[in-house]
Structure 1
Amino acid sequence: MLMSSHLATLGFSAKMPAYKLFSFKYLVLPVNHSNSHWTLIIVTTEPYGMLSVHFYDPLSGRPYKTETELVWTSRLLPFIQ
């Protein structure tokens, strides 16, 4: 499943789409940083309702990593819970 970080901020419904989250092995979440850089959040669904979260930044920059983690914890994780 592919979701955008903009989904939780552009006025879309606060509900998860009508898919069962754990029917997907991976969720790929692109994150745009001020229209100048993209990072990825890759979520792997595990048995028993566990999620493994991986952050990818091609520039490996600390500011982008911190911002990507913040997008996950404050916007996307609450959105999919």
Structure 2
Amino acid sequence: MSLPKPNMRGMLARRTTFHIAMAFTLSIGCSMVYKLLVAEPRKRAYAAFYKEYDPVKDFNAMREAGVFESVRPSGE
């Protein structure tokens, strides 16, 4: 009783095709998960922040705190 010979012809091409297809599928899946779980919430957070952000008020607060060396507080 002997074992049958394994079919080696075309094995590398079949395995390579399978691995390339799996890599493509996984990369598309990971990019979709990243977009849904990271990118979209980040976009919404930035939009919410800048909707009510007042740069002049922020600048005046930093100026009063002495953050800038070239701008004097308004009390001086």
Range into which the TM-score falls when normalised by the shorter chain = under 0.3
Task: Say which one has the larger Rg.
Answer: 2
Greater helix proportion? 2
Greater strand proportion? 1
TM-score by length of 1: 0.22
TM-score by length of 2: 0.23
